[in-house]
Amino acid sequence: MSQLFSPFRLGQLALPNRIVIAPMCQYSADEGKATSWHTIHLGNLALSGAGLLIVEATAINPAGRITAQDLGLWDDETELALTTVVDQIKRHSAIPLGIQLGHAGRKASTLPPWQGGGYITATENGWQTLAPSALPFGETGLVPQAMTIAQIKQVKADFVASAQRAERIGFKLIELHAAHGYLLHQFLSPLSNQRQDQYGGSLENRLRLTVEIYQAVRQAISSDITIGVRISGSDWVDGGWDIEQSVALGKALKTLGCDYIHVSSGGLDARQHIPVGPGYQVPFARQIKAETGLATIAVGLITEAEQAEAVVATGEADMVALARGILYDPRWPWHAAARLGAPAIAPDQYLRCEPHYVKGLFARE
């Protein structure tokens, strides 16, 4: 039997298989509000046969957006808009839904990628960025404001408020974004965090904000909601955040009851040198799983069915996540199931598309 297509329990959430659709920014919101693009995009992915769909990085407040077009969840209007999308998806798919909550920190106030992705100043309809220290991202980055303790407290409160909204909407999983060079990652890494207070300096201090936000969110929402953390396993820069520190964070989160850790890498420093190749981030997930006992999700150039099967079957990670690959092939789970001789999930309306050479492929939702 395929291990990739075996069921798995992530916290209290029962999943039909080990395939995760990773959060992928769409830069298509209207002042933080989900639009018809989100209905089409997420609705398409919800019919893929994956075991879990996590909605893109969703800003906890307007200043936390990467671009002005980022999805948000900070007030009643943004909550209502996302509720409408989620309700439409649930009408037609039983796929479990999660959401990733985050704040971009010093990487905020930029243009969408297809417009160049450059930084925009306050005079160009951008906004003042925030970070642990007044250090820009790269030579062309905006100089962020070093956050005060009051601003840190507000960010924690905003994470909690967004998580409570996510629970009301009906999400069964919440992922805290502490990867890819965004705000929580900025606090974790010594390259971006040069504070001299309780949130900087020692590893314990640099872990503090991520740990406190996890604790606050966990206490604020129902115990049956799964909560995990997305991290970068390494900055890929000498003297930066690395796998040993990632393991330390994992151990701290495990003691607090964290349900899983989702492991990618990079994004914090423009000097990074990433050895990109098939499954290049899987070793980070493997080491964290081995040393912490946390359930892990591996992501990063996992493109082939046999490759994904091997990651799960050998215990390197409990689940695999796809991002760009599933945009390119939105029926990747069907094709993987056919390759591995496993049943795939499809809606009734699509059952007749089952190819003759894989009769019996589709299981009923």
Q: pLDDT tens-digit profile of 200-256?
A: 999 999 999 999 999 999 999 999 999 999 999 999 999 999 999 999 999 999 999
Q: Say which amino acid occupies 301.
A: L
Question: Given pLDDT bands bounded at 50, 70 and 90, which one contains residue 109?
Answer: very high
Of the listed ranges 101-105, 308-312, 350-354, the one predicted with least confidence:
350-354
Answer whether residue 3 is part of any domain.
no
Using a 10 angstrom Cβ sphere, with 0-12 exposed, 13-18 middle and 19 or more buried, the burial of residue 203 is middle
162, 278, 307 from 282: Cα distances, Å: 30, 9, 11
Answer whether residue 108 is part of any domain.
yes
Question: Given pLDDT bands bounded at 50, 70 and 90, which one contains residue 365?
Answer: low
Annotated catalytic residue: which of 182, 199, 214, 260? 182
Has residue 122 got a pLDDT over 90? Answer: no
Answer whether residue 1 is part of any domain.
no
Q: How far apart are CA 65 and CA 270, in angstroms?
A: 20
Answer whether residue 74 is part of any domain.
yes
Answer whether residue 103 is part of any domain.
yes
pLDDT above 70: percentage of residues in the chain: 99
CATH code of the domain containing 306: 3.20.20.70
Question: Given pLDDT bands bounded at 50, 70 and 90, which one contains residue 26?
Answer: very high
Using a 10 angstrom Cβ sphere, with 0-12 exposed, 13-18 middle and 19 or more buried, the burial of residue 352 is exposed
| Beta strand extents in the chain (DSSP E only) | 8-10, 13-15, 19-21, 52-59, 97-102, 130-131, 145-146, 173-178, 226-232, 260-264, 295-299, 319-322, 344-346, 362-364
Has residue 28 got a pLDDT over 90? Answer: yes
Start-to-end C-alpha separation, the chain = 19
Q: What is the reported pLDDT for 146? A: 98
Answer whether residue 336 is part of any domain.
yes
Answer whether residue 208 is part of any domain.
yes
Question: Given pLDDT bands bounded at 50, 70 and 90, which one contains residue 74?
Answer: very high
pTM: 0.97
Has residue 299 got a pLDDT over 70? Answer: yes
- Active-site residue, 182 included: yes
Answer whether residue 140 is part of any domain.
yes
Q: Which domain holds residue 133?
A: 8-364
Strand 97-102 to 173-178 pairing: parallel
Structural domains of the chain, count = 1
* Span 80-89, pLDDT tens digits: 999 999 999 9
CA-based max dimension of the chain: 66
